[in-house]
Amino acid sequence: MINLLINTSLFKKLLSEWHPTKNDHLNPEDITYGSYEYIWWECSEGHVWGSTPSDRLKVEDELCPKCMKKKQQLDKLNNVNKIEAKSLRDIDPGLSKQWNFKRNADVTPDNEMIDEENWNVRWWICGRGLLEIDFMIKLCVRTVQIRKFAKTTH
C-alpha cells in the first residue's frame, strides 16, 4: 500500500493542509496516493474544503479553490495571461489580403495590432474582390466569419 507519507517532500504541502479536526475518523498514513476517500483540507489562509487525495494530486496548482479563484482574478487584473499583440499580417497573412486599404484609411494589416481586446471596426474586401464587408468582432471570429461569408456569396 502506497501511502501519502512515503514521499514526504512531494506531499509535504498536501499533508500540511490535512484538516486537524474534520478528519477524525482518518489517519494520513492510511490514505493511499490514488484514494477516493473524501478528505477535509485547510489552506494557510484558513479556507476549508473537501476533496479526494487523488483529485488534489491531479491539480497543477496546489492552491485551494478560494485561493485559486483569487489568484486568477489578480492575474486577470494584472494581465498576466494576456496575449501579446501582433499585427494582423503576422497572425493571418491570408486574411490581410482581404483588407480594404481605401476604406481603412491610415490603418494597415501591418499596424492593426490584434489581441484579445481588439474590437475595432474594419472594412474588408471579399476574398474574390467582389464585396465589401464591415465586421465588428475579434480576429479569431472575424477570420471564420469572413471565410464563411465569402463562400456563401459566390
Q: What is the pLDDT of residues 120-135, one digit of tens each?
A: 777 777 766 566 665 5
Is 124 within a domain? yes
Domain end residue (candidates: 77, 107, 133)? 77
Single pTM value for the model: 0.47
Is 3 within a domain? no
Residues 12 and 70 in one domain: yes
Residues 56 and 115 in one domain: no
- In angstroms, the CA 147 to CA 139 distance is 12
- In angstroms, the CA 57 to CA 61 distance is 9
Is 2 within a domain? no
- In angstroms, the CA 113 to CA 34 distance is 47
Residue 121: its pLDDT value, please? 75
Decide if pLDDT at 3 tops 70: no
Amino acid at site 9:
S
